[in-house]
């Protein structure tokens, strides 16, 4: 298992052929919850909610916060102005199309950094009715305008993962020549396998050279966003873009918490996020956005350190027997819950937890009653219900 006393993963993860490509790497996170995350269907975040989330992201250790798309939303412009007064440690970034009016709004707001996007794949250019020559001109003009105003630019190639490599190279180099200082590799519709993401990022890194930071921005349409982000880091990406809880349109964006956990625990990569705060940040975001997370979601799901099965409960005293990492890493509580699948070991642990006592020969009766309540309500047995069962069986 891992040399980290709080991580209990397979020793195979430490093999040189797996760990070596990640050795010495450090990854920073660019959070786009407030822009791309808000594109989740039905989600609307007020300026005040965005500031609350930005403060939580700052506490988490996010290095950059994409504050919104001010040209298309007056609320985003207001939120950015509020965030600028919030004394954030994280850098505040804007988002813009390769359009002069978008850049002018960044300048008006006094933003010092922004991602600037443009479509690059044949299908996207066709959808927008733009030629390759026209998009090149727009990119060069917008980036030049931003740089002249003192704005640092990361160029974001929309649908880059489905763009012919020759044209993608031409676009990226043109963006750098126009004044962009960073490059974003974008898997807009989650179309890459992890292997393809690795190949693409490695290729882009070879084009732009070692002094240009490369980001990876992926979506989760095939459930591969975390794996693709890890592969991107392996290939040379030093920035990962994503959202809290993986929120976003369609199947969502890459989940920065999941990626940080995987990089740290499985590959030994240094990450800037304080994962002890991830569950708190997750709750703030999901509450503000008005959705409920799956109970089994990695890092933040309520079931992760909760045990109902009797067979598993019997091992509860040895966390590494039933969990791959300590609940301390994400500041979660471990607990035994009771229901249809409970066993005698579950009853003993719950009795001890609640300070209750019952004669050993009554345990089977208590267990049977617990199972019946769990089956009848199709759910868990509350502590109050358990106390009542114990009192009833004690009086028999």
Are the C-beta atoms of 82 and 74 separated by less than 8 Å? no
CA distance 377 to 386: 14
DSSP string of 195-211, one letter each residue:
HHHHHHHHHHHHHH-TT
- The conformation of residue 350, written as its DSSP 8-state character, comes to H
Within the chain, strands assigned E span 26-31, 64-66, 91-97, 113-119, 152-158, 182-187, 214-218, 239-242, 270-271, 306-307, 335-336
In the chain, % of residues over pLDDT 70: 99
Residues 256/273, Cβ–Cβ less than 8 Å: yes
pLDDT tens for each residue of 341-382: 999 999 999 999 999 999 888 899 999 999 999 999 999 999
Mean pLDDT of the chain: 95
pLDDT per position as a tens digit, 118-138:
999 999 999 999 999 999 999
CA separation for the pair 394, 300 (Å, rounded): 38
Residue 7 — φ and ψ, nearest 5°? -125, 125
Q: Percent helix, strand and coil across the chain, each rounded to 5?
A: 50, 15, 35
Kindly list the structural domains of the chain, giving each domain's residue range(s) and its CATH number in brackets, ordered by start.
Answer: 11-289 (3.20.20.70), 306-395 (no CATH)
Position 387 pLDDT exceeds 90: yes
Q: What is the pTM of this model?
A: 0.93
The CA-atom distances, in angstroms, between 21 and each of 213, 228, 259 are 17, 15, 16
């Amino acid at each position: 298992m891992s040399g980290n006393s709080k991580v209990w993963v397979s020793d195979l993860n430490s093999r040189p052929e797996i760990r070596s490509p990640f050795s010495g790497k450090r990854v920073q996170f660019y959070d786009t919850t407030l822009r791309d995350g808000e594109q989740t269907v039905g989600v609307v975040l007020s300026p005040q909610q965005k500031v609350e989330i930005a403060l939580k992201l700052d506490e988490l250790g996010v290095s950059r916060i994409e504050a919104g798309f001010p040209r298309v939303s007056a609320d985003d412009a207001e939120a950015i102005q509020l965030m600028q007064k919030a004394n954030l440690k994280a850098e505040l970034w804007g988002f813009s199309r390769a359009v002069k009016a978008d850049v002018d709004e960044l300048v008006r707001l006094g933003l010092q950094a922004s991602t600037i996007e443009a479509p690059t794949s044949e299908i996207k250019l066709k959808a927008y009715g733009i030629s390759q020559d026209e998009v090149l001109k727009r990119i060069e003009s917008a980036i030049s305008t931003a740089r002249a105003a003192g704005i640092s630019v990361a160029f974001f190639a929309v649908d880059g993962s489905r763009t012919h490599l020759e044209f993608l190279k031409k676009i990226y180099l043109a963006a750098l020549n126009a004044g962009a200082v960073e490059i974003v590799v974008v898997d807009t519709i989650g179309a890459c396998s992890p292997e393809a993401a690795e190949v693409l990022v490695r290729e882009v890194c070879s084009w732009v050279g070692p002094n240009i930071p490369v980001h990876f921005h992926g979506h989760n349409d095939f459930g591969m966003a975390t794996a693709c982000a890890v592969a991107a880091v392996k290939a040379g990406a030093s920035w990962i873009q994503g959202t809290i809880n993986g929120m976003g349109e369609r199947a969502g964006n890459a989940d920065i918490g999941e990626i940080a956990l995987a990089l740290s625990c499985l590959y030994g990569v240094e990450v800037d996020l304080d994962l002890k705060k991830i569950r708190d940040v997750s709750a703030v975001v999901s509450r503000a956005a008005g959705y409920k997370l799956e109970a089994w979601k990695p890092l933040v799901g309520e079931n992760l350190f909760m045990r109902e099965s009797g067979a598993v409960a019997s091992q509860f005293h040895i966390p590494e027997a039933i969990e791959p990492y300590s609940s301390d890493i994400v500041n979660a509580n471990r607990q035994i819950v009771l229901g249809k699948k409970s066993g005698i070991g579950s009853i003993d642990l719950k009795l001890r937890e609640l300070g209750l006592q019952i004669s050993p020969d009554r345990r089977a009766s208590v267990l049977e009653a617990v199972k019946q309540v769990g089956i009848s309500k199709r759910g868990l047995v509350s502590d109050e219900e358990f106390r009542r069962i114990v009192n009833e069986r004690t009086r028999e």
